[in-house]
């Protein structure tokens, strides 16, 4: 059973996923918010916050908003950068939701904090731009699933034409659609009694321009 959900990145995607989790009163675990940045006025356009959160550290501003929804929620805050941070690695357990903007930061998180970290049961990692959204869910201690995830990692310079990774900023509707993809995976993890994630999809994607969507189960039969 997953008792802790960690959200790395409390911006557009992270704030909406946290809101989705906290509205589910039937889950009685602990939510950990991890970010180093402060909210700015421009964040009001696509992030699940109120004006009162402006200028506050994102973790504390978001926590305040979440407690207004569910004042009994257990929420911890870590106001630090994540890049290879040993303190954060030791703090992580259960489910880790990665909601960051940079492919390089994804590399740092996966390589230094998640892969072969026995305290972490599952990872959900999201990507979105104006035209597409992607959500990956996998076990970081399963080498085959990790190898599949690495197939979809590209440097920031090479990722501009990849699904969910181009340079166009995600609009609000894209963020909500991608949040729905990730939330469906999180729900499957939280309520799968056997703890076996084999019945759920490891990669969900949606192309908003072409109105197409799809999924993959890992490991892949044919590498892509």
Distance CA 102, CA 107 (A): 9
pLDDT at 106: 94
**N-term to C-term CA, the chain:** 32
The fourth-level CATH superfamily of domain 4-216 is NAD(P)-binding Rossmann-like Domain (3.40.50.720)
pTM of the model: 0.92
> What are the extents of the domains in the chain?
4-216
pLDDT at 223: 45
Distance CA 173, CA 163 (A): 16
pLDDT at 55: 93
Read off φ and ψ for residue 195, nearest 5 degrees: 75, 5
pLDDT at 198: 52
Distance CA 186, CA 44 (A): 25
pLDDT at 64: 95
Query: Which of 198, 83, 214 has its CA nearest to residue 144?
Result: 198
Per-residue confidence of the chain (224 residues) as pLDDT tens digits?
A: 899 999 999 999 999 999 999 987 678 899 999 999 999 999 998 899 999 999 999 999 999 999 999 999 999 999 998 876 778 888 999 999 999 989 999 999 999 999 989 999 999 999 998 889 999 999 999 999 999 999 999 888 877 667 766 555 668 889 999 999 999 999 988 876 544 555 568 999 999 888 999 999 998 754 44
């Amino acid at each position: 059973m997953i008792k802790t959900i960690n959200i790395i990145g409390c911006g557009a995607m992270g704030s909406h996923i946290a809101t989705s989790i906290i509205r589910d009163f039937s889950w009685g675990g602990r939510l950990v918010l991890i970010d180093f940045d402060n909210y700015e006025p421009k964040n009001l356009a696509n992030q699940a916050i109120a004006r009162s959160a402006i200028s506050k550290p994102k973790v504390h501003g978001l926590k305040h908003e979440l407690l207004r929804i569910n004042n009994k929620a257990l929420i911890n805050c870590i106001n630090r950068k994540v890049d290879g941070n040993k303190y954060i690695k030791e703090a992580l357990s259960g489910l880790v939701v990665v909601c960051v903007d940079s492919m390089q930061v994804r590399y740092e998180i996966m390589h230094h904090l998640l892969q072969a970290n026995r305290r972490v049961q599952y990872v959900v990692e999201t990507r979105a731009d104006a035209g597409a959204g992607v959500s990956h869910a996998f076990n970081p201690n399963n080498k085959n699933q990790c190898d599949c995830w690495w197939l979809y990692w590209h440097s920031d310079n090479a990722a501009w034409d990849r699904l969910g990774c181009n340079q166009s900023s995600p609009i609000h509707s894209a963020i909500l659609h991608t949040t729905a993809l990730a939330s469906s995976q999180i729900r499957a993890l939280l309520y799968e009694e056997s703890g076996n994630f084999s019945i759920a999809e490891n990669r969900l994607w949606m192309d908003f321009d072409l109105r197409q969507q799809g999924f993959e189960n890992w490991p892949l039969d044919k590498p892509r």
